Amino acid sequence: MDHRTSHNWKLLILAGAIVSLLAWPGTSEAQTVTGQASAVQASVLGITTTLADSGTLGGTSDARDASGLTGRIPSLLRGEALHAATIGYPDEVDSEASLTNLGMTVAGTGISADFVMSRAFAVLGGSSTGFTNIDGLSIGGAPVFPTGAPNQTLLFGVLRVVLNEQIPSADGITVNALHVRTIDGLTDVVIGSAKAGVSSSGSTSGGDGGILPPLPLPPLF
C-alpha cells in the first residue's frame, strides 16, 4: 500500500469515527438563563428612568454591557463611571453593576457615596450568591457603615433604605446595592442592580450526544 492510499484510508476511518460519534445517542439539558444589570433604576411619580442598563441576556453564550462617563436624572441624582454587565455560559450567569461619586436627594434627604457596586452569580444545580460594596456612604449628612449582611434596612424619616438587598428567585438572585424608597412609594430608586439566573428546561435525546458544548466566553470579571 503506497503512502497516498494509506493517507486516504486514514481519512475514511477518521470520517467514520466522526459520523459514529455524532450518531451516538445522547442526552442533553436545555438551559434557560436570565441576566441583567443596571447602574440606576429610578421611578418617580410613575415615570421610570434607567441609566447604564445592560438589557437582558439572549442566551447561554450572550454577553451585554452598558456604561457612561456620567449620568444624571434632573432634581434626583447624579453619578460617574456608570457600568453594567451580564454574561451567560452554558451553566452559569454572572452580572455586575457599579458607579462612583453618587449624589442623590430624595424627599429632601441627601444621600451620597464614593462607590457603589453589586454582583450576582447563578450556577446550574448550585446555589446563587451575591454581594455588594458601598464605600463612603452618607445619608442626611451622617456617615452610614454597611454591615455586609443581606437586606440591612434603615429608616430616615419618610425614607426606607435597604443596603445589600438580596431577592432570591426559583432560578437565581437579584442583588441591589442601595435601594431607597419613600414610604408612600412615589419615589423608588435602586443604585447598582445585578440579576442572574439559570435553570434547566428539560432534557433532549438524539444523535448529537457526541457534540461538545460551545466554549464559554472569557470571564466577566
- What is residue 31's predicted lDDT score, i.e. its pLDDT? 86
The Cα–Cα gap between 119 and 130 comes to 5
Phi, psi of 110 (to 5 degrees): -85, 135
Q: State what percent of residues in the chain have pLDDT above 90.
A: 74
- pLDDT, tens digit, 9 for 90 and up, residues 102-129: 999 999 999 999 999 999 999 999 989 9
Q: Which cell numbers in the block locate residue 96?
A: 455586575
First vs last Cα of the chain: how many Å apart? 56
**What distance in Å separates the CA atoms of residue 58 and residue 60, rounded to the nearest whole number?**
7
Q: Length of the chain in residues, anyone?
A: 221
pLDDT band at 4 (very low <50, low <70, confident <90, very high): very low
pLDDT tens-digit profile of 34-89?
999 999 999 999 999 999 999 999 999 999 999 999 999 999 999 999 999 999 99
CA dihedral angle for residue 28, residue 170, residue 57, residue 210, rounded to 10 degrees: -10
Task: Kindly tell me if the per-residue pLDDT of 96 is higher than 80.
Answer: yes
Query: pTM for this structure?
Result: 0.79
Going by C-beta distance under 8 Å and a sequence separation of 6 or more, which residues neighbour residue 149? 164
Q: How far apart are CA 40 and CA 53, in angstroms?
A: 8
- What's the mean pLDDT when you consider all of the chain? 84
Contact predicate 115/137, CB 8 Å: no
Which 3 state secondary structure label does DSSP give 5?
helix
The rounded Cα 29 to chain-centroid distance in angstroms is 22
Q: Which one has a higher pLDDT value, 203 or 95?
A: 95
Using CA atoms, how far apart are residues 167 and 118, in angstroms rounded to an integer?
13
